[in-house]
Amino acid sequence: MVRALTTSAQVTATDLLRDAFRERFDGQPQVFARAPGRVNLIGEHTDYNQGFVLPMAIDRACTIAARSNESNHITIRSLASDEEQTFSLCDLKPEPKGLFSDYVRGVVAGFCERGVSVTGFDAVVDSDIPLGSGLSSSAALEVATATLLEELTEHRVSPMDKALLCQKAEHQFVGVPCGLMDQYASVFGRTDQLMLLDCRDNECRYVSMADPSVALLVINSNVRHQLAESEYAVRKSQCESASSKLGLQSLRDAGLESLNHPDLDDLEVKRVRHIFTENQRTQSAAGETEHQAWGTVGELMYASHASLRDDYQVSCAELDAIVEICQCIGTDGGIHGARMTGGGFGGCAIALVEVARLKELCRRIAAEYRIRTEIESSLFCVRPGTGAEIIPAS
């Protein structure tokens, strides 16, 4: 079921979109839909290896305002990227065009594939998730589009089918072979809950993270290295090759003994070790979070970062600098742990921090990052929030 909630942040987002829609298309939008980004506390690059991840939907989202236009064209204007694109409902071939509307086209195609009759619409979209920073603005755009289409077509898809449809859109229309975590979190998020998702069978256990004394601080390195997309695909194929050499269905089944397998080269041993240890860390972190054992959760985050840096080799100097700064500040200074989050090669790091020290920590991390890299970071706190929903139009 699509839920409908209203918060003050949404009121601001919908007011802004309503004005932008009126300015561009005349008249009022008919439907508002929103879908959140996500932060993954731990469990990086494990999703496409059928492993464990521990994400939460965040209180930042992609919001779309739309109205049917009685044509066979979809026009979508993005305030976040200041672009407008139009495509025809006759043009739903799964070919990436390098446009932001590819995400929308892919989701529309998914509905058509299910026999749903989609007609044209005009839309304005905005997002307070930084684009391309590892917080999943892409899944938020897909899931917001799917939620919008459910309302416009009066055809509900099951939440799991919605996540899968959006993942397929990203695979086929954008060309990114992502796992299911981002779309899953955006659909299934709940206030104050993390999701321990088993990517083998997509079973999820909600894990409470309601302690008001700690917060997750997102630190955007504000760099994105070119390697991000190409190396993602390289890692994925390295994992597939290693699991086939090990005779496993996926690296989810790798054990300690796998690391000594004679067919694996040194690089493959590193990749397998990351997936094996990260799956263990992720399951431990879920239990430790439930017990509010923040010191232990923090240690697991630091260990995850070290493994991503040394074994999986997807970090970069800027993300390493942020994590080192956090480690130097330490528990006494109010930081339990930190790690890069998302695919890597730039984007964001997250830190588990004491709420009481937040202001001072933000100032200190930003200042030390500036000294080390000469780059301005952006910092903000996130809380686990609700999944995609329709927002009442007034």
Whole-angstrom distance, CA of residue 176 vs CA of residue 96:
10
CA distance 35 to 185: 10
Give the binding range for ligand ADP (CB under 6 A) out of 116-124, 130-138, 160-168, 382-390.
Answer: 130-138
Helix, strand and coil in the chain, % to nearest 5:
45, 25, 30
C-beta closer to ligand ADP: residue 118 or 141: 141
- Which CB, 174 or 329, lies closer to Mg ion? 174
Q: Which of 53, 44, 42 is nearest to 296 (CA)?
A: 42
Q: Which helix (H) or strand (E) holds 15?
A: helix 8-25
Q: How far is the CB of 135 from ligand ADP (least distance, A)?
A: 6
Using DSSP bridges, classify how beta strands 3-4 and 389-391 pair: parallel, antiparallel or unpaired. Answer: parallel
127 touches ligand ADP by CB under 6 A: yes
Report how far apart, in Å, the C-alpha atoms of 8 and of each of 15, 160, 171, 280, 392 are.
11, 28, 34, 39, 13
Nearer to Mg ion, 138 or 167 (CB): 138
Q: Structure tokens of 388?
A: 């995609």
Question: According to CB under 6 A, which residues from 228 to 257 bind ligand ADP?
Answer: none
Segment near ligand ADP (CB under 6 A); pick from 50-58, 134-142, 150-158, 378-386: 134-142
Element (H, E) at 151: helix 137-153
Report, in Å, the least distance between residue 140 CB and ligand ADP: 6
Record the tokens describing residue 47, joined without a space: 């999703």
Considering the rule CB under 6 A, would residue 80 count as an interface residue with ligand ADP?
Answer: yes
Site membership for ligand ADP, residue 179 (CB under 6 A): no
What is d(CA 285, CA 268) in angstroms, rounded to the nearest whole number? Answer: 25
With CB under 5 to 8 Å by kind, the binding choice for 342 among Mg ion, ligand ADP, none is ligand ADP
Contact 38, 185 (CB under 8 A): yes
When binding is defined by CB under 6 A, the residue of 62, 143, 187, 196 that contacts ligand ADP is 62
In whole angstroms, the minimum distance from the beta carbon of 260 to ligand ADP comes to 36
Residue placing its CB nearer to Mg ion in the complex, 138 or 238: 138
**Catalytic entry in 122, 182, 311, 320:** 182
Query: Shortest Cβ contact with Mg ion: which residue?
Result: 138
Using DSSP, state whether 79 is helix, strand or coil: coil
141 binds, options Mg ion, ligand ADP, none, Cβ within 5 to 8 A by partner type = ligand ADP
Q: Assess 186 for contact with Mg ion (CB under 5 A).
A: no
Residue in 131, 259, 355, 358 binding ligand ADP, rule: CB under 6 A: 131
CA separation for the pair 30, 67 (Å, rounded): 5
In the region spanning residues 106 to 125, those forming contacts with ligand ADP, defined by CB under 6 A, are: 125
Which pairs with CB-CB distance under 8 Å and at least 24 residues apart come from 151-157? 151/2, 151/31, 151/33, 151/390, 152/30, 152/31, 152/66, 152/68, 152/118, 152/119, 152/121, 153/111, 153/116, 153/117, 153/118, 155/111, 155/114, 155/116, 156/1, 156/2, 157/111, 157/114
Q: Annotated catalytic, 182?
A: yes
- 136 is an interface residue for ligand ADP by CB under 6 A: yes
Binding to Mg ion in span 104-163, by CB under 5 A: 138
Q: How far is the CB of 64 from ligand ADP (least distance, A)?
A: 9
Displacement of CA 111 from its chain's centroid (Å)? 22
The one of Mg ion, ligand ADP, none whose footprint includes residue 110, by CB under 5 to 8 A per kind, is: none
Rounded Cα distance, 229 and 98, in Å: 13
Closest CA to 54 of 260, 284, 264, 275: 284
- Binding positions for Mg ion, 11-30, rule CB under 5 A: none
Q: Number of residues interacting with ligand ADP: please give it, by CB under 6 A.
A: 18
Q: 174 or 286: whose CB is closer to Mg ion?
A: 174
Is residue 345 within the footprint of ligand ADP (CB under 6 A)?
no
Residues with a catalytic annotation lie at 182
Binding residues (CB under 6 A) for ligand ADP: these are 62, 78, 80-81, 100, 103, 125, 127, 131-138, 141, 342
